[in-house]
Amino acid sequence: MSARTPEIGELGAEAEELLAGLIRFNTVNPPGNERPAQQYLADHLARAGFECELLGAEEGRPNLIARLRAEDGRDGPTLCYLGHVDTVLADPADWTHDPWSGDVVDGFLWGRGSLDMKSQVAAEIAAAASLARSGWRPARGELLIVAVVDEETGGSLGAQWITETHPEKVRCDLLVNEGGGAVFEYGGRRCYGVCCAEKGVFRFTVTTDGVAGHASMPSMGENALLKMGPVLERLAARQPSHLPTEEPLAFLRGIGEDPEDLDGSLERLRDADPRLATMFEPMFGVTFTPTRIRASEKINVIPNRAELKVDCRVPPGLGEEEVRRGIAEVLGPESTDTHPPWRIDFTERVVGNRSPVRSELMDTISAWIAEQDPGAEVVPVVLPGFTDSRHFRLAFPECVAYGFFPHRHQTLLQTAPLIHGADERIDVRDLAFATELFRDLAVRVLG
């Protein structure tokens, strides 16, 4: 492991050491096996003065809950720093450096989870521990650290389980989690996205029917798979029309575009940088992505049924009505004389959720960015996928939950391809930058 980058300071060095140690615990989910990593983090916080508890649905997969209370018990908000310690798979053969090494090379700390999201966990815990060791205690309320398991497979043992079975342990008013923060440039502006909302899923199956027959005689049966051809062509040709909600319109204002000229704004975004458009355009409405198709069980049998699985993502505030409208727009009616009949069956319905675009927490984050990166500003974004924030919003409707982990040096265009990919790594200067945010934010919010 190379020498630390000298300009990151003591706080950054603590976060770097924590992250390197955390990466060396293989917590690929499944199976997860997060207990050793959670104990490592709990020990660090307990030494600093936090009250720590490991609580889980399974012995080997506990969630970490740690709190630092106001000394006089004065009422106030609970600020929660949330993160998960499980990761997706990594194949060492595809990596330049061992994905469980935690090595620092050329100013980057390498390893699975260095972006998603052991880095944020390490930054949050380093910031919190340094405050506690210094003698700081909240003037009001409390600082809550929650590191959960099982996020990468939905959270049934992690955030979902703990908010449903032990809500009193993790109830909070303000929450900072993953989902935003990497800087991007557009139109001469430097912008940091704050994730205010997450899309829901309304996955569905498209089914076509036919008549089975022997595959050696193509015209003998009625091939249901061939009837799927027009469906795939239509899905390839377009997405449903945009249905912008509050957050993407605020995003356009934030990057200097006109929300009243939606088509023109998105066209300018595509022209300026198609990569940014790829990441941000899904915020503006319902999206359809076909992912799996199934037909005959045997190679020599003409299928009498074909099924196409479509991953459908829906902005918060929209639901099945808008999805069905999009299906009719993209695919046409389910059965007409002009194309083979097909039908739709919804297989999963999860409504997206959101937090306010405007809040005191947003103002505090915005002010900090303006101080640390003069001229830069924060803009609200909608995450096309989901994070554990959704479980906390469901459990605690008044909770303001944002995704924010600021990267000043490693841009959004540089980090996005590395998440869940090979050679995942973080600029150690950004790790230090984010750690400073979490330290300052706690003081500014809790006094």
Question: pLDDT tens, 90-114?
Answer: 999 999 999 999 999 999 999 999 9
State the span(s) of the chain assigned CATH 3.30.70.360: 200-237+289-350
CATH architecture, domain 200-237+289-350: 2-Layer Sandwich (3.30)
Distance in angstroms (rounded) separating the CA atoms of residues 4 and 1: 9
CB-CB contact of 190 with 181 (8 Å): no
Give phi and psi for 117, each to the nearest 5.
-135, 35
CATH homologous superfamily for the domain 6-179+387-446:
Zn peptidases (3.40.630.10)
Q: Identify the pLDDT of residue 74.
A: 85
Every domain range in the chain assigned CATH 3.40.630.10:
6-179+387-446
Report strand pairing: 305-314 vs 287-294: antiparallel
- Three-state SS string over the chain comes to CCCCCHHHHHHHHHHHHHHHHHHCCCCECCCCCCHHHHHHHHHHHHHHCCEEEEECCCCCCCEEEEEEECCCCCCCCEEEEEEECCECCCCHHHCCCCCCCCCEECCEEECCCCCCCHHHHHHHHHHHHHHHHCCCCCCCCEEEEEEECCHHHCCCCCHHHHHHHCHHHHCCCEEEECCCCEEEEECCEEEEEEEEEECEEEEEEEEEECECEECCCCCCCECCCHHHHHHHHHHHHCCCCCCCCHHHHHHHHHCCCCCCCHHHHHHHHHHHCHHHHHHHHHHHCCEEEEEEEECCCCCCEECCEEEEEEEEEECCCCCHHHHHHHHHHHHCCCCCCCCCCCEEEEEEEECCEECCCCCHHHHHHHHHHHHHCCCCEEEEEEECCCCCHHHHHHHCCCCEEEECCCECCCCHHHHHHHCCCCCCEEEHHHHHHHHHHHHHHHHHHHC
Alpha-carbon span 362 to 378, nearest angstrom: 9
Q: Which residues contact 148 (CB under 8 A, 6 or more apart)?
A: 63, 64, 82, 83, 84, 85, 155, 158, 159, 162, 388
Place of tokens 């066209």: 267
| Averaged pLDDT in 10-residue chunks for the chain of 447 residues | 60 97 98 98 98 97 97 91 98 97 97 98 98 97 98 96 98 98 97 98 96 94 94 97 96 97 97 96 98 97 97 97 96 66 92 97 98 97 95 98 98 96 98 98 97
Task: Please name every residue paired with 205 in a beta bridge, in sequence order, or none if there are none.
Answer: 309, 345
Question: Residue 444: what are its φ and ψ, rounded to 5°?
Answer: -70, -35
Burial 232-265 (b: 16+ CB within 10 A, else e): eebbeeebbeebbbbbbbbbbebbebeeeebeeb
The whole-number pLDDT of residue 35 equals 98
Which pLDDT value is given to residue 72?
A: 84
Query: pTM surpassing 0.85?
Result: yes
pLDDT of residue 338: 52
Pairing of strands 174-177, 78-84: parallel
